[in-house]
Amino acid sequence: MTTKSKIWLSLILPESDNSVSGQLFLNGLCLPSHPSLTDADLERVAGVVKGLARLETLPQFSAS
């Protein structure tokens, strides 16, 4: 995790937060869900998730 990410996270989530919601925030995957999503939207999301599942190491995203 980059320094910027750590600073950003420290502003919104205390380091000692071991709650279920805190852990989901840090480790979970947020997928779009809305009644107006089209079949094309769902196919795109499914394609990205399938692509990530094929990777041996997941990419690290920064808050920059």
Question: Helices in the chain by DSSP H: which ranges?
Answer: 3-12, 20-27, 39-54
Higher local confidence (pLDDT), 4 or 49: 49
User: Does residue 61 form part of some domain?
Assistant: no
Residue showing tokens 């041996």: 56
User: Does residue 63 form part of some domain?
Assistant: no
User: Using an 8 Å Cβ cutoff, are 52 and 58 in contact?
Assistant: yes
pTM (two decimals): 0.50
Q: Is the pLDDT of residue 61 over 70?
A: no
User: Does residue 37 form part of some domain?
Assistant: yes
Other Cβ atoms within 10 Å of 24 Cβ, number: 11
User: Does residue 64 form part of some domain?
Assistant: no
pLDDT average, residue stretch 6-28: 67
User: Does residue 59 form part of some domain?
Assistant: no
CA 63 to chain centre: 12
pLDDT at 22: 73
Burial of 31 from C-beta contacts in 10 A (0-12 / 13-18 / 19+): exposed
Question: How many structural domains comprise the chain?
Answer: 1
User: Does residue 36 form part of some domain?
Assistant: yes
Q: Which residue range is the domain that position 45 belongs to?
A: 3-54
Q: Where residue 64 falls among pLDDT bands split at 50, 70, 90?
A: very low
